Amino acid sequence: MAVDRTGTTAAPDRARRPCDLCDAAIGKVLDAGELGRLNGIATAVTLEAGGTAFLEGDDSSYLFNLVSGSLRQSKLLPDGRRQVTGFLFPGDFLGLSTAGTYPYSAEALTAAALCRFDRVSFIRMLEGLPRLERHVLRLASRELAQAHDHLLVLGRKTATERIATVLLKLVARIGELGSAGCTLDLPMSRADLADYTGLTAETVCRTLTQLRKRGVIASAGLRGLHIPRLDVLAGYSGDL
């Protein structure tokens, strides 16, 4: 199996239904026959941690559905400043942009599995699958709302509010509710969080330390977090 330097792997030995893995994600809105048609234009793709699904500026030939793992979307300025525009988790669509090139890069934070669709075929198929089109429109709309929320974070919130807001959002998406609060396994580095929140890695650290000292969060290793009370953390988010 050929693995290039970006860690991309197109599985050549795919089963009869390469998109089996993502059926669960899309399956709710399509019946078996429709899924079959979709599978016809789908290819299973896996990424190693750090691998690249596509780079900002690449021809947007493909659409992706994230099946497992987590991705980071980011944009770069010419001098190297980076803005992470979002983190993606299973079920999220990727590459919906209608422009000819991807407006951001997509890289794997952890090992990830994706379902890849030829863009033109996918769009053509939408015409015959109104429920899928509705689903995609709903996803785009939700993404837009999330982007607007994040504009508020970046434009108007303090460092502590930014971190609290982002932690709450991550908890909602990938947190595990336990008997005593919530547990969170961060898939991204402090630098990723910094580029997502518009801060520096140092400020992210200091802010986490401060929250830790106040008992709002507790750490379990570098990437593990425990949040005893979500409502307390929410109190730091600026949203209440």
Site for a second copy, rule CB under 8 A? 73, 75, 77-79, 81-83, 85, 96-99, 103-104, 126-127, 130, 133-134, 136-138, 140-145, 147-152, 154-157, 195-198, 238-240
**What residue has token string 């959002």?**
169
Amino acid at 149: D
Q: Which stretch binds DNA (CB under 7 A): 55-63, 84-92, 113-121, 188-196?
A: 188-196
Q: Strand, coil or helix: what is 127?
A: coil
Task: Name every residue whose Cβ is closer than 8 Å to that of residue 48 and which is 6 or more positions away in sequence.
Answer: 3, 7, 9, 108, 111
Residue with Cβ nearer a second copy (158 or 209): 158
d(CA 30, CA 128): 12
Which CB atom, from 37 or from 82, has the smaller least distance to DNA? 82
* Residue 19 binds DNA (CB under 7 A): no
- Which of 43, 73, 160, 165 lies at the binding interface for DNA (CB under 7 A)? 160
Task: Choose among a second copy, DNA, none what residue 190 binds, the Cβ cut-off being 5 to 8 Å by kind.
Answer: DNA
With CB cut-offs between 5 and 8 Å by kind, which of a second copy, DNA, none does residue 154 bind? a second copy
Please say whether the beta carbons of 1 and 11 come within 8 A: yes
Q: Hey, what amino acid is at 233?
A: L
Q: State the nearest-atom distance from the C-beta of 106 to a second copy, in Å.
A: 12
List 2, 32, 180, 222, residue binding DNA (CB under 7 A): 222
- Scanning 36-44, 90-98, 146-154, 216-224 for contacts with DNA by CB under 7 A, the matching segment is 216-224
What are the strands, taking DSSP E only, across the chain?
Answer: 8-10, 42-47, 52-54, 62-68, 71-76, 82-88, 93-94, 105-108, 112-118, 176-178, 181-185, 218-220, 224-227
Please tell me the count of residues contacting DNA according to CB under 7 A. 21
Q: Taking CB under 7 A as the rule, does residue 205 contact DNA? A: yes
Least Å distance, CB 172 to a second copy, is 15
Residues 6+ apart with CB under 8 A from 160: 207, 210, 211, 236
Token code pair at residue 72: 């980071």
Q: Are 169 and 237 in contact (CB under 8 A)?
A: no
In the complex, least distance from residue 158 CB atom to DNA, rounded to whole angstroms: 4
Nearer to a second copy, 113 or 170 (CB): 170
| 37-59 burial: b if 16+ Cβ within 10 Å, else e | ebbebbbbbbbbeebbbbeeebe
Binding status of residue 130 toward DNA by CB under 7 A: no
Residues of this chain that interact with DNA (CB under 7 A) are 158-160, 189-191, 198-206, 208-209, 219, 221-223
